[in-house]
Amino acid sequence: MERARSLLKKYYGYSCFRAGQEKIINNILNGGDTLGIMPTGGGKSICYQIPALVLPGITLVISPLISLMKDQVDALINQGIPAIFINSTLAYRETVTRMQDLARGFYKLLYIAPERLESESFRELIYQLNISLVAVDEAHCVSQWGHDFRPSYLAIAGLINGFATRPAVAAFTATATEAVRQDIIKQLGLQNPLVHIGGFDRTNLYLQVIKGEDKKNFLLQYLRQNQGCSGIIYAATRKEVDSLYDFLQAKGFSVGKYHAGLSDGERNQVQDDFIHDNILVIIATNAFGMGINKSNVRFVIHHNMPKNMEAYYQEAGRAGRDGESGECILLYSPQDIQVQKRLIELNETTPERRETDYRKLQSIIDYCHTSNCLRRCILTYFGDTNVADTCSSCFNCSGDSESVDITVQAQKILSCIWRMREQYGLTMVADVLKGSQNKKVLQLGFNHLSTYGLLNNYAIREIKDIINMLIAEGYITMTQSEYPVLKLRESAYPVLKGQASVYQKVRRNRQVHVDDNLFQMLRQLRKDIAVREKLPPYMIFSDKTLQEMSRCCPTDEQGLLTVNGVGEFKLQRYGSEFLQKIYRYLAEGGIEDYPKN
């Protein structure tokens, strides 16, 4: 571990490991298997990259996307760490050359996609290398109960079993429920693994759900308020991505688009432009998922509700990977539910899996409608029970919202469900409360109920929103099926009897943190260097490192080395330019109390 800490400082510029990293690294160095559940931006890659430098031989890293592995390898090389990838973008001759260089010990890390393991000839080449560690990134992809199942991940266990001397195996993911965790262990054949759950909380992320807004107008105002910030806007379909891209580009915003309908060249170009800060905002379907490792994304906006909590938290987690503030906003509309239900029914799967998908869908619907802490809602879903009832960084807990008493409206809804004998779904209940004259309401005689038309001054959408909130807060339950039925829960009866009250949040907008002058100057310098060296800006230094530089204002190399994220390699490569910029800023009076003499 002493060697590991020394390498951490030398190559990464940090003096100590984050919580959980040291325990995982120590277990790997002792030859043990590991399952690490760590939040996005929590430092998973260091948990296998540092052991790769300490252990003899090569660390094999199995990564899901070609673009992601290239990004990671480029970052390692820029830190002075010998790494290489082999994937389908390489010609056969280049692949052979790289395998020969690996055998000669020129590299410490080899990145491959899981699909490569389906080739028996390639597996035989791997067995000829001295592999001391197999690291599986995005390990939830191996589980059919995960949100992003990849059948090619099932070949990993066969590879591991084929080694003459079994290497240590370390699997990592940011989002995994208990069922997914157990499935990862089973499918990868992990032997008595250390299971480290580092917590799913991302305290630097501000969470918000917005309902009933004109989505395009919201995006227009939000991007104007947060000019200069890098962000991702996720939309459910290619058509919506194209529409939003045309709309925002016409308004003069620096945007790009990404979806499966574009050519490989177009997708690669827009991702490259985004990573290099040539465009600030990318509008994408979930095809733009794990392939992004950009650290300075300040906001992620979901234009539509995703299919489940795992998908949402994985995508929202692209914000604030550098540890600085980020904002995650979900723009909800009732139509999102029908879209996701239709996708579930179109998916050819088992009845058991379909029921699971409906249950997961209900969890994200509950998230969209809860008036309780949004952070607690997410963490509880992932089994993190050590969480407070409230936080200071979600809309429902912040001073940006206020509670409104809707007990009377809730009583009318609960009473209506009861009088309809708890045999109908959300739409029918809302129609009765609205006083609808549609054929089915009249045929069933619901127009004669005492609750008919009790909420006729509300729009159908507003009635459905309140019903969904009552579901999220545990007053109503829904059967898990394509056509779910509403039923009252025990907590509904005290409300009906006037013994308990119900509250709903009223929402306003919020602006992201604005950067200071020196930070902006350092960002521009970073951009200039990145263009010169043909690298993404965050590979030079992260936003968090630049923020610390702007606060500490180091004026010599020793001072710069104390900044987190500045290692010896990057000090030699970039240090003088950043020191000159800081010194010039100070000398020109950037800070009033700087001694001019």
Q: Is residue 597 part of a domain?
A: no
Q: How far apart are CA 465 and CA 468, in angstroms?
A: 5
What tokens appear for 467 in the block? Answer: 């019903």
In a shared domain, residues 417 and 486: yes
pTM: 0.69
In a shared domain, residues 320 and 242: yes
In a shared domain, residues 20 and 123: yes
Q: What is the mean pLDDT of residues 519-538?
A: 92
Name the nearest CA neighbour of 295 among 516, 89, 544: 544
In a shared domain, residues 165 and 69: yes
Q: Is residue 592 part of a domain?
A: no
Q: What integer pLDDT is reported at residue 516 of this predicted model? A: 72
Whether the Cβ atoms of residue 374 and residue 209 lie closer than 8 Å to each other: yes
- Going by C-beta distance under 8 Å and a sequence separation of 6 or more, which residues neighbour residue 38? 20, 44, 47, 172, 174, 196, 198
Q: How far apart are CA 491 and CA 485, in angstroms?
A: 18
Whether the Cβ atoms of residue 319 and residue 299 lie closer than 8 Å to each other: yes
Q: What integer pLDDT is reported at residue 559 of this predicted model? A: 83
Helices of type H across 396-534:
407-419, 426-434, 439-443, 460-472, 492-496, 517-533
CATH number at residue 267: 3.40.50.300
In a shared domain, residues 120 and 75: yes
Q: Is residue 91 part of a domain?
A: yes
In a shared domain, residues 429 and 346: no
In a shared domain, residues 371 and 434: no
Structural domain ending residue among the three candidates 505, 531, 563: 505
Q: How far apart are CA 459 and CA 463, in angstroms?
A: 6
Q: How far apart are CA 38 and CA 149, in angstroms?
A: 19
Q: How far apart are CA 234 and CA 287, in angstroms?
A: 10
In a shared domain, residues 25 and 165: yes
CATH number at residue 582: 1.10.150.80
Whether the Cβ atoms of residue 336 and residue 236 lie closer than 8 Å to each other: yes
Q: Is residue 511 part of a domain?
A: no
Q: What integer pLDDT is reported at residue 363 of this predicted model? A: 93
Q: What integer pLDDT is reported at residue 506 of this predicted model? A: 66
In a shared domain, residues 213 and 344: yes
Q: Is residue 538 part of a domain?
A: yes
Q: How sure is the predictor about 515, in pLDDT bands with cuts at 50, 70 and 90? A: very low
Calculate the average pLDDT of the chain.
Answer: 88
Q: How far apart are CA 164 and CA 166, in angstroms?
A: 6
What tokens appear for 165 in the block? Answer: 């001397």
In a shared domain, residues 351 and 433: no
Q: Is residue 596 part of a domain?
A: no
Structural domain ending residue among the three candidates 175, 197, 219: 197
| Cβ burial, residue 128 (10 Å; 0-12/13-18/19+) | exposed
Q: What integer pLDDT is reported at residue 232 of this predicted model? A: 96
Q: What is the mean pLDDT of residues 87-116?
A: 92
| Cβ burial, residue 183 (10 Å; 0-12/13-18/19+) | buried
CATH number at residue 413: 1.10.10.10
Q: What is the mean pLDDT of residues 538-567?
A: 87
Enclosing domain of residue 575: 517-587
Q: How sure is the predictor about 507, in pLDDT bands with cuts at 50, 70 and 90? A: low
In a shared domain, residues 114 and 41: yes
pLDDT in tens, 396-429: 888 666 778 999 999 999 999 999 999 999 999 9
pLDDT in tens, 228-274: 899 999 998 899 999 999 999 999 999 999 998 999 889 889 988 99
- Going by C-beta distance under 8 Å and a sequence separation of 6 or more, which residues neighbour residue 224? none
What tokens appear for 170 in the block? Answer: 């370390």
pLDDT in tens, 273-303: 998 899 999 999 987 765 567 888 999 999 9
Whether residue 205 has pLDDT greater than 90? yes
Q: How far apart are CA 556 and CA 576, in angstroms?
A: 9
In a shared domain, residues 394 and 408: no
Most confident region among 24-38, 275-289, 475-489 by mean pLDDT: 24-38
Structural domain ending residue among the three candidates 447, 473, 505: 505
| Residue with token string 């031989």 | 57
- Per the structure, how many domains does the chain have? 4
Q: What is the mean pLDDT of residues 145-159?
A: 87
pLDDT in tens, 305-315: 999 998 899 89
